[in-house]
Structure 1
Amino acid sequence: MTNLKSVTLAVMAAGAFASFPARAAEELVVYCNVQEEWCRPMVTAFEKATGIKVLMTRKSVGETYAQIKAEAANPKADIWWGGTGDPHLQAAEEGLTEPYKSPKLAELQPWAVKQAEAAKYRTVGVYAGALGFSYNTEELAKRKLAAPKCWADLTKADFKGEVQVANPNASGTSYNMLATLVQVMGEDKAFDYLKALHKNVNQYTKAGAAPARAVATGESMVGITFMHDAVTQVVEGAPVKVVAPCEGTGYEIGSMSIVKGAKNMANAKKWYEWALTPEAQGIAVGAKAYQVPSNKAAPTPAQAPKFAEIKLIDYDFVKYGSTAERSRLLAKWDKEVGALPK
């Protein structure tokens, strides 16, 4: 009966939207930053659970941050779900998101709670994932190349034109890489490294997960992504090896925020509470998303990278999620790396 009732409510809501202006009690606008294959079942499950019609847009996290900032005077979105935490923290600092302290915080992993505290409860962690890279084992074998194990290996002449990575202005994954390298190597050496890497990059994509798919298809030999995005390709049978760089690496806290001035505030809070439940976070498993969930009781996919086996740095989310530092590093990347000829 519950499912039938939910479906009926959704149909009624859809009919109402066809005849009248949007009504807050019946809809929710979500900006989603994970892959489409995870966004869609999240929306479907929420609609079935609540009868609320969800209007979802999927973009990269950098694009979503820019859109929310541009729409600040007249917000179009209610919930910003997923994507690396740095832009969420920047948005929190700039007052683009709404403070909300969930009663479910006690159920969450310490890193998720720390994220909320750092943002003065304007965002919260919903999953975590480690940064790394992957390579196509078949292509590597054909060319009789040594397997890359470290960040330094990716600048070798062997990989000229064979590395794919996203643009840090559009992609939270790639900004996380930029901030990670600065923390691992120091800023001067990190930018020297990025300039050397640029010579080997065949494409700067918009989406952070795209390089993992390019590696799986053989379009690119190496892709820098979060490790879980490469694991997805492995599970699907692609000839891919996932690497945690030997020098150490950073990680993301995928986050969720309520947009300040949301027109459907009550429904936004319903999504927020629902998305922190073990049931909602468990949807990731069926969607072949291999991040670590923030709710302690949510199932963690067996294939998810094991944080205990990765040399993770103590990533400074507050510093590198700040407006000043994020803007400065991106401007420096544009000037010193992105502007270089290919």
Structure 2
Amino acid sequence: MKNRFVKSSLAALVAMMATNAFAATEVTVYTAFEADILAKYKNAFEKANPDVAINWVRDSTGIMTAKLLAEKNNPQAEVVWGLAGSSMALLKEEGILKPYTPKGLENLHAELNDPQSTQAWYGNDAFFNAVCFNEVVAKQLDLPKPTSWEDLAKPVYQGHIAMPNPASSGTGYMQVSAWLQNMGEDKGWDYMAQLHQNIAHYTHSGSKPCVQAGMGEVAIGISMASRGAKLKTQGAPLDVITPAGIGWESEAVGLVKASDAAQRVVDWSISKEANELYVEMYPVVGHKDVEAVVSNFPNVQQNMANMDFARMGNERADVLKTWSDKFDGKSEAK
């Protein structure tokens, strides 16, 4: 009996020591990825890297960018993964992102990456805006189908449109930037003032306006093309429309604190395996060997706005202040 007790105690001690020896190193990763895909990315990474665990900290693009800037002198994140390229450019300029060359960089589409010679961020995917138009609600309200941005400023749509607040949503900010860059400053602000008359509310999530349109809470949501395609595939009565000058941007990864575990997160995030997950939702991804057709995804390429991402990053604070001063009164409560 005594020998059995000793053997049992030793076995428990060995098991405990083994558990401690192989406890996963936790990496804090800041992200603006949609919440419903985080578990999938975490599980796939940890399956490939069982000795590293991801601790997600998630919020919308604007809030996450502000958080990273506020923590500049005492960074809490180790990796930023799934944040807009314009935000990444700003974080690099502020010294928050560190130059790093991940393994497998040669397999990526260069146009989605940091364009500077000392690179610090790399595109995972490209995401696009769209207009989610509820055909059932529109028929009930006798609303015509819009085909251009100018259409959405017509009085017939008053109170029937939702769009993301650009100060808290990257989806919103990239469309505001697209209007300003492609219409010109004066015409862009004039257009947004006209559109504002038709806005029911501004949301703090990029996907929410499309979700609301899909549920019939509004007739029209200026939102994410990928969310519109997904909802339409699930049966929502949506037409996913891409007016000429649709906003788009890359979603990217970058290193904040250098460590073996953090670098492995960055390396894996640009891998073919990771890109095969991105392409389930985004038809344009960073890896050259990964492509797919997403059901009901609109033909965005013919209507893409010309986007200067460095300008988006540099002008962000001024544009958001002006926008908030003019239009924030219709934003949903946070």
Smaller-chain TM-score bracket = 0.7 to 0.9
1:338 to 315, 328, 334: 328
Given that residues 132 and 240 in structure 2 are in contact (C-alpha distance below 8 angstroms), is that contact kept between their aligned partners in structure 1?
A: yes
TM-score by length of 1: 0.85
- Within-5 A mapping of 1:176-195: 176-195=174-193
Distance 1:305 1:118 in 2: 31
1:146 to 144, 147, 156: 144
- Within-5 A mapping of 1:52-131: 52-112=52-112, 115-118=113-116, 120-131=118-129
Letter in 2 for 1:35: E
Q: Which residue of 2 aligns with 1:219?
A: 217
Q: Which residue of 1 aligns with 2:311?
A: 319
Distance of aligned partners of 1:174 and 1:212 in 2 relative to their CA distance in 1, 3 Å threshold: same
2:271 to 273, 277, 282: 277
1:87 Cα deviation from its structure 2 partner? 1.1
Given that residues 210 and 227 in structure 2 are in contact (C-alpha distance below 8 angstroms), is that contact kept between their aligned partners in structure 1?
A: yes
What's the RMSD between the two structures over aligned residues? 2.5
Distance of aligned partners of 1:295 and 1:285 in 2 relative to their CA distance in 1, 3 Å threshold: closer
Q: Which residue of 2 aligns with 1:252?
A: 249
Unaligned runs of 5+ in 2: 1-14
Distance 1:119 1:224 in 2: 35
- Structure having the higher Rg: 2
Aligned residues: 315
Query: Is 1:329 the equivalent of 2:332?
Result: no
1:33 Cα deviation from its structure 2 partner? 1.0
TM-score by length of 2: 0.87
Given that residues 93 and 119 in structure 1 are in contact (C-alpha distance below 8 angstroms), is that contact kept between their aligned partners in structure 2?
A: no
Distance 2:306 2:117 in 1: 18
Given that residues 32 and 39 in structure 1 are in contact (C-alpha distance below 8 angstroms), is that contact kept between their aligned partners in structure 2?
A: no
1:283 Cα deviation from its structure 2 partner? 1.5
Given that residues 163 and 222 in structure 1 are in contact (C-alpha distance below 8 angstroms), is that contact kept between their aligned partners in structure 2?
A: yes
Q: Deviations over 1:179-226 (max 9, x none)?
A: 100112111111111111112111211111111111110111111113
How many percent identity over aligned positions?
28
Given that residues 202 and 330 in structure 2 are in contact (C-alpha distance below 8 angstroms), is that contact kept between their aligned partners in structure 1?
A: no
Given that residues 125 and 250 in structure 2 are in contact (C-alpha distance below 8 angstroms), is that contact kept between their aligned partners in structure 1?
A: yes
Distance 2:63 2:219 in 1: 27
Q: Deviations over 1:292-320 (max 9, x none)?
A: 11101123343344444x22232111111
Distance 2:101 2:267 in 1: 10
Q: Which residue of 1 aligns with 2:8?
A: none
- Within-5 A mapping of 1:14-29: 16=20, 26-29=25-28
Given that residues 125 and 278 in structure 2 are in contact (C-alpha distance below 8 angstroms), is that contact kept between their aligned partners in structure 1?
A: no
Distance 1:132 1:307 in 2: 8
Letter in 2 for 1:178: V
Distance 2:310 2:268 in 1: 26
Displaced runs of 4+ in structure 1, greater than 4 A?
339-342
Distance 1:269 1:45 in 2: 16
Given that residues 167 and 205 in structure 1 are in contact (C-alpha distance below 8 angstroms), is that contact kept between their aligned partners in structure 2?
A: yes
Given that residues 92 and 119 in structure 1 are in contact (C-alpha distance below 8 angstroms), is that contact kept between their aligned partners in structure 2?
A: no
- Within-5 A mapping of 1:296-307: 296-303=288-295, 304-307=297-300
